């Protein structure tokens, strides 16, 4: 209030605005409002729907985000395209930019008889957003004819992304990724009043240092401390927990690497969402294939 008294010569309306901003910044800056999405039924109801417009408890409209990412008005296109997909990576109809990055991989004195390599394709898919290097809207083939850029496969080209017309809001002038200086400038608990009402995404910003995460690019060890996958689909091994011989999205799997079946991000996470129960039930948090309750997901592989 002392600061406001020093500004007593300003017009009353401006003083009122400043007072509101000060209150908003101190009282509501770190409020983490939930998104409008229910996490039920379809990927369209999850945070992986990058066409999102507004949070359920108030907060900014989509137009507040439109200037920072292209609103393609199609959910799947942020990762997939039916034509002109990135054939340089073994991922289904892949449409995102994947940079040539050397990651700092997991290392521990307790990790015995296992060598961690660079992430495989089924981890690079996730890291193409979650390592924070690439804008969330950096895709190769944008909706519509003539919106394809071959060099976009490994290098983000903002001039290309700027050609998109955001029909529901202002055109994006910058294209931001999931990092502290970009998306997290609003979507974090330290964002101040400019981030008030923006959901905190800090936990999802992994970066390029993977030493603080479960090892990926690693073979599942053998021995009494480890369980053996019981199902096979092509080159993928999976834990056939329901015994039907088919690989369900709710079953942990190991992807083929140069050395054999390896643990990757998608071994435990399904980016499309896995229900925690029957039809219509909420998705498991963080898109886990198996519930973490009682360490169930850990005990899928680990025999302890």
Q: Are residues 224 and 189 in the same domain?
A: no
Asked if residue 20 is part of any domain, the answer here is no
Distance of alpha carbon 168 from alpha carbon 278, whole angstroms? 35
Distance of alpha carbon 199 from alpha carbon 29, whole angstroms? 11
Domain count, the chain: 2
144 phi-psi bin (left φ>0, alpha ψ -120 to 50, beta other): left
Q: Are residues 276 and 185 in the same domain?
A: no
Q: Are residues 289 and 185 in the same domain?
A: no
pLDDT at 169: 85
Q: Are residues 67 and 188 in the same domain?
A: yes
Q: Are residues 161 and 287 in the same domain?
A: no
Asked if residue 215 is part of any domain, the answer here is no
pLDDT at 205: 95
Residues 6 or more apart in contact with residue 293 via CB below 8 angstroms:
none
Residue with tokens 């060598």: 115
Q: Give the residues across from 231 on adjacent strands.
A: 238
pLDDT at 37: 74
Is the Cα dihedral 138, 139, 140, 144 positive or negative? Answer: negative
Asked if residue 134 is part of any domain, the answer here is yes
pLDDT at 259: 85
The reported pTM is 0.85
Give the residue from 115, 88, 45, 86 showing the smallest Cα distance to 260.
115
pLDDT at 199: 81
Distance of alpha carbon 249 from alpha carbon 288, whole angstroms? 10
Q: Are residues 108 and 236 in the same domain?
A: no
pLDDT at 31: 47
**Cα end-to-end distance, the chain, whole Å:** 59
Q: Are residues 150 and 101 in the same domain?
A: yes
Distance of alpha carbon 241 from alpha carbon 246, whole angstroms? 10
Residue 279: CB atoms within 10 A of its CB come to 7
Asked if residue 8 is part of any domain, the answer here is no
Asked if residue 6 is part of any domain, the answer here is no
Give the residue from 131, 65, 137 showing the smallest Cα distance to 96.
137
**Last residue of a domain, which of 148, 180, 207?**
207
Residues 6 or more apart in contact with residue 288 via CB below 8 angstroms:
268, 269, 270, 274, 297
Asked if residue 7 is part of any domain, the answer here is no
**Last residue of a domain, which of 207, 228, 246?**
207
Domain that holds residue 287: 220-304
**Last residue of a domain, which of 153, 180, 207?**
207
Q: Are residues 153 and 295 in the same domain?
A: no
Q: Are residues 163 and 35 in the same domain?
A: yes
Q: Are residues 251 and 126 in the same domain?
A: no
Q: Are residues 199 and 228 in the same domain?
A: no
Asked if residue 85 is part of any domain, the answer here is yes
pLDDT at 198: 79
pLDDT along the chain (304 residues), means of 10: 38 39 39 67 89 62 83 96 92 96 88 83 97 97 94 96 92 94 90 80 94 91 90 95 95 91 96 86 92 94 89
pLDDT at 252: 97
Q: Are residues 186 and 224 in the same domain?
A: no
Distance of alpha carbon 185 from alpha carbon 188, whole angstroms? 7
pLDDT at 267: 97
pLDDT at 220: 86
């Amino acid at each position: 209030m002392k600061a406001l008294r020093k500004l007593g010569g300003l017009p009353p309306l401006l003083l009122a605005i400043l007072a509101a901003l000060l209150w908003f910044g101190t009282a509501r800056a770190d409020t983490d409002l939930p998104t409008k999405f229910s996490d039920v039924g379809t990927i369209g109801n999850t945070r992986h729907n990058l066409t999102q417009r507004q949070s359920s408890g108030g907060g900014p409209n989509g137009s507040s985000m439109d200037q920072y990412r292209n609103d393609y008005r199609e959910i799947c296109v942020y990762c997939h395209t039916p034509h002109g997909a990135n054939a340089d990576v073994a991922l289904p109809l892949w449409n995102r930019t994947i940079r040539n990055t050397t990651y700092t991989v997991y290392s521990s004195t307790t990790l015995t008889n296992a060598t961690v390599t660079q992430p495989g394709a089924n981890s690079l898919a996730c890291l193409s957003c979650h390592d924070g290097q690439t804008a969330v809207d950096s895709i190769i083939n944008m909706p519509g004819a003539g919106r394809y850029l071959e060099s976009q496969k490994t290098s983000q080209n903002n001039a290309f992304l700027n050609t998109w017309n955001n029909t529901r809001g202002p055109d994006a002038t910058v294209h931001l990724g999931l990092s502290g200086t970009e998306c997290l400038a609003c979507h974090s608990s330290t964002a101040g009043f400019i981030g008030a009402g923006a959901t905190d995404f800090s936990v999802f910003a992994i970066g390029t240092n993977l030493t603080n995460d479960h090892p990926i690019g690693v073979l599942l060890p053998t021995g009494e401390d480890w369980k053996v996958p019981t199902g096979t689909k092509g080159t993928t091994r999976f834990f056939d927990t329901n015994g039907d011989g088919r690989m369900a999205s709710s079953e942990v799997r190991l992807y083929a690497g140069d050395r054999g079946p390896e643990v990757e991000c998608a071994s435990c996470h399904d980016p499309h969402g896995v229900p925690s129960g029957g039809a219509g039930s909420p998705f498991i948090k963080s898109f886990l294939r198996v519930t973490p309750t009682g360490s169930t997901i850990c005990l899928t592989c680990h025999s302890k």
